[in-house]
Amino acid sequence: MRFTFLADQPDALATIAQWYFDAWGYRVAGSSVDRIKARLQQALNRDRAPLLVLALDDEAIVGVAELKIREMDIYPELEYWLGGVYVPPPHRGKTIASRAVGRVVELAQSFGIETLHLQTEKLDGGLYGRLGWRPLAQVNYRGLDVLVMEKRLAGSG
């Protein structure tokens, strides 16, 4: 498995937008695959947030993860977020999500980011708890109970 950026494979945008809509977007009023595609256009970066990392097995996309900016509007002071971690069902259980999260963390560190945040519907922290993320708060956001978590990055003190 190797990683690349959506910026290097922009033809994957439609597939990822559909995955995101099917996994989460259908629950958001006014969401559509086209709106998700438009948002993802802003993640066509390699050297700064926002960006999207693709996990590839041969040339097949087997997972994705994003470095986002201000994902939750109720936390405007929290700038950098991990989000959009998705692995299609046939590829789950192979550590792809963990490795994609690790790649985004590495990139964030290389950009000088000191702390990352995320939100998860797994109120016990799930995968992220196992990867060392700390819970900050449980909130109801847009009608869903989510756990907000953070990770202080190495070298940030």
CATH code of the domain in which 105 resides: 3.40.630.30
16 lies in a domain? yes
In a domain, 143, yes or no: no
pLDDT digits (tens, 9 = 90+) for 27-39: 888 899 999 999 9
Which residues are 68's β-sheet partners?
Answer: 81
Look at residue 44 and tell me if it is in a domain: yes
- pLDDT mean across residues, the chain: 95
Nearest to 67 by CA among 31, 107, 32: 107
> Is 100 contained in some domain?
yes
145 neighbors 123 (Cβ within 8 angstroms): yes
Please state the domain count of the chain.
1
Which structural domain, as residue segments, surrounds residue 38? 2-113
Q: Name the 3-class secondary structure at 32.
A: coil
Rounded CA separation 41/52 (Å): 10
Could you tell me if residue 138 is inside a domain?
no
For 91-121, write each residue's pLDDT tens digit. Answer: 999 999 999 999 999 999 999 999 999 999 9
CA distance 9 to 139: 35
- State the pLDDT at residue 29: 85
Q: What is the pLDDT of residues 59-101, one digit of tens each?
A: 999 999 999 999 999 999 999 999 999 999 999 999 999 999 9
